[in-house]
C-alpha cells in the first residue's frame, strides 16, 4: 500500500516512519507538515492510505478530509481522544490512534485497513497502467509498475523487468513523462529506477533486486530525499 504522512510534529513523524518501515506491505511515498502541502500530491498520485494528524497548522485533519475527492483510507493520529467520535462519522476513516501508541496498536490499525481495502482490490492487470514497446517489429506489453530499471546506452534504452529485457532506440529523457513521478527516480545519467524495488544503498551503489546501479554524484541528494532517508 502506498501511504503518506500528514503530521506537523517531527517526533511523531519519526515514530510513524519507524513503524511503517517494519511492515513490508507499506510503501511510504511522502511526508508533509500541513494539509495544503499534501493536497496537490493526493490529486496526482495513487495513494492507498494516509496517516493524518487532526491538529494541523493550516486546517484540521477532519476538515481536510471533507475537501478530498475520492479520499483514500485514513488512519487518524492525535493526542486528543475526544475527537474520536466525530472522526468516525467519516466513512473513509479506518482507525484512530491516540498518541503515544504502541507498534502493536499501529499494526492492528494496518490490518483493519487491509481488510477494508480487500473488496476494492482488482485482479490480474485490471487498472494497471501499461505501455507497448515496438522492439524488432513486435509490440511488447509492459506494465509500468513492473519496471525495475531503465538503462541508457548511447541511442538505446533497455527496459528491465523481472521477466523481460527489451532494448530499442530511445532516450531516458523521453521516459520521464511516461513514468509515475512519485515512483521512478533518475539516479544516474544512464539509469532510472523504480523506488519500490530498491533493496539497499551502499556508498554510491544502489541495489535493485539482483542489479547493482551506480549513483551519480549530482543525483544522490535528490535520491535520498525521495527515499525519505534522513
Question: Do you find a cis peptide bond into 69, omega within 30 degrees of 0?
Answer: no
Letter string b/e over residues 178-207, b meaning 16 or more CB atoms within 10 A of that residue's CB: ebbebbbbbbbebbbbbbebbeebeeeebe
Specify the pLDDT at position 6: 93
Question: What is the end-to-end Cα distance of the chain in Å, rounded?
Answer: 22
Rg of the chain's alpha carbons, rounded to an integer? 20
Residue 155 DSSP SS3: coil
Please enumerate in sequence order all residues whose Cβ is within 8 A of that of 174, keeping only pairs 6 or more positions apart, or say none.
157
pLDDT per residue as tens, the chain (230 positions):
899 999 989 999 999 999 999 998 899 999 999 888 888 888 888 889 999 998 888 788 888 888 887 888 999 888 876 655 454 456 788 888 888 899 999 999 999 888 888 754 444 444 578 888 888 888 888 888 899 999 999 899 999 998 899 999 999 988 887 888 778 999 999 999 999 899 889 999 999 988 999 999 999 988 888 886 54
> What local confidence, expressed as pLDDT, does residue 84 receive?
53
Which DSSP category does 144 fall into?
G
How open is the CA angle 172-222-130, to the nearest 5 degrees?
40
- Classify domain 130-226 at the CATH superfamily level: LytTr DNA-binding domain (2.40.50.1020)
Query: What is the rounded distance in angstroms from the CA atom of residue 148 to the CA atom of residue 150?
Result: 7
Torsional sign, CA 228, 68, 25, 34: positive
Q: Looking at domain 2-120, what is its CATH homologous superfamily?
A: Response regulator (3.40.50.2300)
* pLDDT (0 to 100) of residue 123: 46
H and E: helices and strands count for the chain: 7, 15
With b for 16 or more beta-carbon neighbours within 10 A and e for fewer, the 117-133 pattern comes to eeeeeeeeeeeeeeeeb
Neighbours of 55 (CB within 10 A): 14
pTM of the complete model: 0.51
User: Which grid coordinates are listed for 141?
Assistant: 506489453
Closest by alpha carbon to 181, among 35, 64, 30? 30
- Phi, then psi, of 112 in degrees rounded to 5: -65, -40
The domains of the chain are located at: 2-120, 130-226
Amino acid at each position: 500500500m502506498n501511504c503518506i504522512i500528514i503530521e506537523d510534529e517531527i517526533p511523531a513523524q519519526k515514530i510513524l516512519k519507524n513503524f511503517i518501515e517494519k511492515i513490508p506491505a507499506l510503501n511510504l511515498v511522502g511526508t508533509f507538515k500541513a494539509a495544503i502541502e499534501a493536497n496537490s500530491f493526493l490529486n496526482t498520485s495513487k495513494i492507498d492510505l494516509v496517516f493524518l494528524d487532526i491538529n494541523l497548522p493550516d486546517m484540521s485533519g477532519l476538515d481536510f478530509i471533507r475537501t478530498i475527492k475520492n479520499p483514500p483510507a485514513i488512519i487518524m493520529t492525535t493526542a486528543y481522544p475526544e475527537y474520536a467520535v466525530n472522526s468516525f462519522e467519516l466513512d473513509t476513516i479506518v482507525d484512530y490512534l491516540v498518541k503515544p501508541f504502541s507498534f502493536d496498536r499501529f499494526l492492528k490499525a494496518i490490518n483493519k485497513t487491509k481488510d477494508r481495502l480487500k473488496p476494492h482490490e482488482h485482479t490480474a492487470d485490471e487498472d494497471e497502467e501499461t505501455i507497448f514497446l515496438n522492439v524488432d517489429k513486435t509490440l511488447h506489453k509492459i506494465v509500468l509498475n513492473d519496471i525495475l530499471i531503465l538503462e541508457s546506452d548511447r541511442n538505446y534504452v533497455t527496459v528491465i523487468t523481472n521477466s523481460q529485457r527489451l532494448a530499442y532506440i530511445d532516450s531516458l529523457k523521453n521516459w520521464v513523462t511516461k513514468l509515475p513521478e512519485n515512483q521512478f527516480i533518475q539516479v544516474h545519467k544512464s539509469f532510472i529506477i523504480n523506488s519500490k524495488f530498491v533493496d539497499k544503498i551502499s556508498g554510491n551503489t544502489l541495489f535493485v533486486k539482483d542489479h547493482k546501479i551506480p549513483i551519480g554524484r549530482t543525483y544522490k541528494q535528490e535520491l535520498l530525499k525521495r527515499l525519505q532517508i534522513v
